[in-house]
């Protein structure tokens, strides 16, 4: 499956941890539904589902 290029992303760092989250303020037309949403790298943050800490995935982004 191919995904369209979404545009230019903004990245946020917290307390010296680089690029923990990103967003597309003004994505390209085919990706406009994601405008203003923020994504986090599961590999870099603690994720809880129903109060249970999830295992961090292993990837090149960790």
**pLDDT tens, position by position, for the chain (62 residues)?**
566 689 999 999 999 989 999 999 999 998 999 999 999 988 999 999 999 999 999 888 77
Structural contact between residues 42 and 55, judged by C-beta atoms closer than 8 angstroms = no
Q: In the numeric block, which tokens belong to residue 21?
A: 């989250």
Question: Does residue 29 belong to any structural domain of this protein?
Answer: yes
For residue 39, give its domain range: 10-53
Question: Does residue 38 belong to any structural domain of this protein?
Answer: yes
The pLDDT of residue 60: 84
- Cα 24 to Cα 18, 28, 41, 54, distances in angstroms: 17, 9, 15, 26
Q: How many domains does the chain have?
A: 1
Taking the whole predicted model, whether its pTM rises above 0.75 is answered as no
The pLDDT of residue 25: 92
Question: What DSSP string runs through 44-62?
Answer: TS--EETTEEPPPPPSTT-
The pLDDT of residue 49: 96
Question: Does residue 61 belong to any structural domain of this protein?
Answer: no
Question: Does residue 41 belong to any structural domain of this protein?
Answer: yes
The pLDDT of residue 53: 97
């Amino acid at each position: 499956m191919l995904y369209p290029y979404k545009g230019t992303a903004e990245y946020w760092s917290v307390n010296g941890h680089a690029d923990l989250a990103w967003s597309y303020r003004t994505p390209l037309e085919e990706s406009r539904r994601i405008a203003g949403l923020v994504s986090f790298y599961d590999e870099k943050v603690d994720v809880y589902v129903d109060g249970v800490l999830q295992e961090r995935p292993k990837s090149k982004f960790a």
